[in-house]
Amino acid sequence: MSRQKRILITGGAGFLGSHLCDYFSEAGYYVIAMDNLVTGSVDNIAHLFSEVNFDFYEQDVSKYVHVAGDLDVILHFASPASPIDYLEMPIQTLKVGSLGTHNLLGLARAKGARFMIASTSEIYGDPLVHPQTEEYWGNVNPIGPRGVYDEAKRFQESMTMAYHKVHKIDCRIARIFNTYGPRMRVKDGRALPSFLAQALLGESLTIYGNGEQTRSFCYVDDLIRGVVRLLEVPYNLPINLGNPDEITIIELARKIRSLSPNSSSDIVHLPLPEDDPQRRRPDISKANEILNWWPRIGLDEGLQYTLSYFRDKIFM
């Protein structure tokens, strides 16, 4: 009789981490979610607490990590991900990307576990190449306000590849572009959830700059499929995961406003934050070819699902 597979998911009470907990729980894994709850919420995983094959550890991975027993897979998804979070917690953000990654790579080595990091499109900074391919090295200000997140993720990739080369860790690097869906925080601070909350509340939709900067938004179910597929395929170099459909921020605001018929929101412009990327779109050729993966859910459909979730959270 084969042993039940065991997986550790750091950031397991967060937006992406909680969806991964759901997927692997349903897939028959013994799931261990680890989170210090700085930005995560137990509400996201409370429905799993009654499962016999689920554990939750409230723990800061940058301080120490201990998990008894076997581990087959480690998914390191712990980190503040919104600018308002990592601007308020710059040192914690750097630590979870550096010390936390080091601790978890050591655990992966000790357990013989496959190891995946949640990297980010932010490693490309304000890109000079468009769309962004995995071969592009980025345009990042290391001492700017966003540098704590960008450089933490860049270091995370370097450390992971070093452990792969020296200690033969079976690693995966997912460069995740803007992802949205249920379980995003209402006060997340990023454009899409901010617009949804403002539209539902009848408040002004706040755009930073002229709104002509672009982003590409991937629905969470598509992203989770990509993560799972990457885990299954023997490929150790970074792979972009995101939706290549590009939209300006002002177009996104108008679209979200139109989906909320009770909203009389106007659109106001505020100063553009320092080092805010002007264009963002993933080249997912490698994901197509190597993973046989591409997004299936368009922005209009995904926004309807997310709007419904936000409506319930705000007016419940």
Dihedral of alpha carbons 11, 28, 117, 194, sign: negative
* Catalytic residue status for 149: yes
Tokens 């201990």 -> residue: 66
CA distance 258 to 167: 53
CA distance 11 to 16: 8
- Give long-range contacts, CB 8 A cutoff, 24+ apart: 87-94: 87/145, 89/38, 90/148, 91/148, 92/38, 92/62, 93/148, 93/149, 93/152, 94/148, 94/151, 94/152
Q: Which of 149, 163, 180, 219 is catalytic?
A: 149
Contact assessment for residue 115 and residue 170, using Cβ atoms and an 8 Å cutoff: yes
Give the residue numbers annotated as catalytic, written as ranges: 149
